Structure 1
Amino acid sequence: MSKIAIIVDSSSYIPHKVQLAKHIYVADNPVLFGRKVYHESHWPVNAAFYKQMAASSVQPTTSQPSIGDLMAIFDQVKKDGYDQAILVTLSSGFSGTYQAAFAAAAQYQDLDVHVWDSRIATMGAGNQALLASDLAEKGWQMADILEKLRLLRDRTSVFFVVNSIKHLQRTGRLSGGQALIAGLLSIKPILNIDPSKDGKIVAVAKERKMTGAWKYIEENFGKIVEGYAHSNWPMRVTIVDADNPTLADSWVEKGKALWPDIVFERGIIGPLIGVHTGEKAVGFIWAQDYKTLED
């Protein structure tokens, strides 16, 4: 067993089997429907959350894991024989989870915990945790793992498309691009998070249909692929969806056909992030393939 444990908050959406195989600890994020507090693990089938969200007269909100919950995980990590840990959180640009984790780590005396701001979410953060897990298992030291995480974070970004802007407006998670907002209510906004900057959500374009959103991604991602190829950074793309699997699967197939040298995989937009994106959102996350950073 390596001396460095890896902890994530549950919005990384690393598949459960992978979490178990990699011995990754998970802080379960709270999701609130009015006064009723759930956690992301309450919905093992992702579609069930979106069904509840659509049927509820009270729209959900989110919070971050409590300091007590985080310290309970630190206790377990210490009990399991680790003396260091890396806690990978979703972006501090649109969540308080990083700050809560930092506060918990600062108060905990029996474990050296480094809190890592992924500056992104879902499998963009998940792949950073998987890279850290693989390197820790190989016996890498903390400083060297963090340097690799910095490289991966800076080479990660996303386009995502929401079916409606209303949830991002309701929860206050949209930053920048305010000139676009007035015209977004009846169309499909294309949004971006840039982890090499502040990890905030910004609107970059708007289309009337999901087919137009794909055309935008195809055109703009093609230019990105050229830049990564020039830098000799092999790529991995993760298509994630908020209960829109047919569209997400089609994006994977289109991507594989256009860019056969890129690794394509699937993931989800789970409850915590889905509160803000709403149902039917689809994300296109790209990065250097983390496996190529493990040597």
Structure 2
Amino acid sequence: MEKIALITDSTSDLPDNIVKKYNIKMLHYRIIYKNREFIDKIDITPEYVYNNLHREIPTSSIPSMDEMEKVFKELEEKGYTHAIAVTLSAGLTGIYNGIRVVSENHPEIKTYIFDSKSISMGEGVIIEECGKLIEKGASFSEIVDKIPDIRKRLNLFFVVDTLEYLKKGGRIGKVAGTIAELLNIKPIVSIDINDGKYYTYDKVRGRKKSLNKMIEIGENILKTKKCRLCVVHGCALEDSQKMFQELKKHPNIVSSVFGGALSPVSGVHSGPGLVGLILFEEE
């Protein structure tokens, strides 16, 4: 009899009720300041990160190998036979390889690691769908076969107030930087499904136009697809709520969740002003 565990990381921004419902094991990124190290979503808030960016821009690190090892040992002790891990895009971080190395030390658990090539609730919705499949009685192999198709139904876009923090954190990808900022051009950023790196999906001049363009992009998808909606933000509560309220009334939205603030570690790399839109296509 298969007993399947689900593993993801703190950047997935999953609500606590979903984590508990599907018993998802959470690995936590680390946020590193000169004089102190924090554990993402454990002993630091997004507000702390944003409020202190003028003093120091911290660095981040993947969850510790010790934490990963602890999770796998606990799974063994609890009789799990299989594990599915969904990670933050490997084009942005090394967590995929970290879990792979640790899982190889635990051959008793057959582990499948999926690179979400996404961030935040884009990553989170994939692991949530895996939880639903387990609940329906799907086997490990059936779920593994379905995950790539789940990823194809995911649409994620975001805009930031400044590209400064993406550049400093080395996460700029294929998004144009300095010249665009000088001209007040705001790129609508998405993630390349091939390499998992950021790229410019569209661009407009000015903050207000960029938010309106995001709504337009969402409405274009919703013309032909019924979707679940999620909006997240990084120190941009008012702008994100406006977008959420505008899109949730569309007749092709089947359910909507205001995801709220990004994980603190995501705030390190986005800086203040991020508004993120996730539309997940229903089958």
With the length of structure 1 as denominator, give the TM-score of the two structures: 0.87
Aligned positions of 1:126-141 closer than 5 A: 126-141=124-139
Give the aligned residue type for 1:202: Y
**Matched residue, 1:274:** 267
Q: Is the partner of 2:71 in helix, strand or coil? A: helix
Q: CA deviation at 1:270?
A: 1.3
2:196 pairs with 1:203: no
- Whether the aligned pair in 1 keeps the contact of 2:222 and 2:252 (CA below 8 Å) is no
Give the aligned residue type for 2:213: Y
- Whether the aligned pair in 2 keeps the contact of 1:30 and 1:64 (CA below 8 Å) is yes
Q: CA deviation at 1:243?
A: 2.3
Please give the per-residue CA displacement for 1:29-51, whole angstroms capped at 9, x wherever unaligned.
Answer: 11111352211123464323322
In structure 1, the gaps of 5 or more residues are none
**Matched residue, 1:54:** 53
**Matched residue, 1:117:** 115
| Matches of 2:199 and 2:159, distance apart in 1 | 12
Aligned positions of 1:148-187 closer than 5 A: 148-178=146-176, 181-185=178-182, 186-187=184-185
The 3 A distance-change label for structure 1 pair 198 and 10 is same
Q: Is the partner of 1:202 in helix, strand or coil? A: strand
Q: Is the partner of 1:5 in helix, strand or coil? A: strand
**Matched residue, 1:242:** 234
Q: Is the partner of 2:18 in helix, strand or coil? A: helix
**Matched residue, 2:245:** 253
More helix by share: 1
Q: Is the partner of 2:200 in helix, strand or coil? A: strand
- Whether the aligned pair in 2 keeps the contact of 1:165 and 1:189 (CA below 8 Å) is no
The 3 A distance-change label for structure 1 pair 7 and 255 is same
| Matches of 2:188 and 2:61, distance apart in 1 | 25
Q: Is the partner of 2:126 in helix, strand or coil? A: helix
Please give the per-residue CA displacement for 1:44-80, whole angstroms capped at 9, x wherever unaligned.
Answer: 64323322x335x321111111222111101112222
The 3 A distance-change label for structure 1 pair 104 and 85 is same
- Whether the aligned pair in 2 keeps the contact of 1:167 and 1:275 (CA below 8 Å) is yes
2:280 pairs with 1:287: yes
- Whether the aligned pair in 2 keeps the contact of 1:40 and 1:270 (CA below 8 Å) is yes
Identity of aligned pairs, percent? 27
**Matched residue, 1:64:** 62
The 3 A distance-change label for structure 1 pair 288 and 278 is same
Q: CA deviation at 1:187?
A: 4.5
Q: CA deviation at 1:281?
A: 0.6
How many residue pairs match? The answer is 280
Q: CA RMSD in A?
A: 2.1
